[in-house]
Every structure is written in structure tokens, then in C-alpha cells.
């Protein structure tokens, strides 16, 4: 069991990526592969000519560019004793973009082929990701009309 599981967090948007959805371990030294490819594309400037057209035009490419991104662990100390642990806060109140990021990655035929070849449950995970991404899109989340991340409105977190 991992003594301090990790997630990748966009503090500004209240969004995160969970390594397990990319067939990755949650150990800091093992965050790699498709998870980091998703992070790179989220951080990339939009309309990058070096990305395939299907990926370049995806709604997530560049979504996190210029924002505060951190990798946090479940047992990390909060920066301020008054604030909750960011990992725990995000797991309870954040938006998990992992499924949408898997859909973004599989829109690239080369990456989709690699995922299908290397992930033991690839077909199941890709289909699950498509359904969860479609639900987020239908909710209006990406157009700013989605539901608030918490019922009490307490979704602010600062570094």
C-alpha cells in the first residue's frame, strides 16, 4: 500500500487527475507515462502545430496553461494550519478530470494504440472515460454552467 498517495491538482480550477485512471501508481517517483502526457497537454498552449489535429482541437488542450498546478499527497501537511489538506479537499470537493483527459489522449490514434496495447483493462477504461466525459459535457461543466463543486460554497483553496 502506498504510504502517501498523490494526485495532480489545478488549484485555480479545483480540478485534478487521479493516477489510477491512467494505469499509474500514486507514488511520486512513479508518476509517468500517460498521466504526464495528459498533464503536458493540459498545460500546452492551444493550437500547437506539433499535435495531431484531433488532439490539438480538443477542449482540454491548454485548459491548465498558466495556472497553479501541484502534485499533492494524502498525508502532506497543509501550508496553513487553518486549511484542510489539499489532497483530501480535492477528493471531497474537486472535479476529477481524469476521464476527460483519457478521452483527450485517445483522440490521438498513436496514443490510443499505445494505451490499448499497454493497459490491461484498456477497452473498459476507455469506454468508462467516454461515458464520464460525456456526462461532464452534458452537465455544462466546460461551458461554466455546471453545478458548484460543493453544496456549502466552500470550494476556495489557496497555496
pLDDT value at residue 80: 73
Count the helices and strands in the chain (H runs, E runs).
6, 4
- The pTM score is 0.81
Can you tell me the distance from the alpha carbon of 53 to that of 30, in angstroms, rounded to the nearest whole number? 30
Q: Mean pLDDT across the stretch 15-43?
A: 79
1 pLDDT exceeds 80? no
Q: Mean pLDDT across the stretch 131-142?
A: 94
pLDDT value at residue 28: 59
pLDDT value at residue 54: 64
Can you tell me the distance from the alpha carbon of 2 to that of 87, in angstroms, rounded to the nearest whole number? 14
- What whole-number percentage of the chain has pLDDT above 90? 33
Amino acid at each position: 500500500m502506498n504510504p502517501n498517495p498523490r494526485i495532480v491538482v489545478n488549484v485555480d480550477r479545483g480540478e485534478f487527475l487521479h493516477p489510477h485512471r491512467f494505469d499509474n501508481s500514486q507514488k511520486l517517483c512513479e508518476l509517468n507515462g500517460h498521466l504526464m502526457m495528459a498533464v503536458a497537454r493540459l498545460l500546452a498552449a492551444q493550437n500547437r502545430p506539433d499535435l495531431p489535429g484531433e488532439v490539438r482541437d480538443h477542449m482540454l488542450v491548454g485548459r491548465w496553461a498558466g495556472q497553479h498546478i501541484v502534485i499533492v499527497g494524502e498525508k502532506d501537511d497543509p501550508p496553513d494550519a487553518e486549511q484542510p489538506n489539499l489532497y483530501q479537499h480535492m477528493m471531497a470537493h474537486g472535479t476529477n478530470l481524469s476521464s476527460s483527459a483519457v478521452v483527450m489522449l485517445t483522440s490521438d490514434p498513436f496514443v490510443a494504440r499505445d494505451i490499448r496495447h499497454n493497459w490491461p483493462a484498456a477497452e473498459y477504461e476507455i469506454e468508462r472515460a467516454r461515458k464520464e466525459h460525456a456526462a461532464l459535457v452534458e452537465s455544462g461543466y466546460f461551458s461554466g454552467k455546471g453545478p458548484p463543486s460543493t453544496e456549502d460554497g466552500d470550494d476556495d483553496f489557496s497555496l
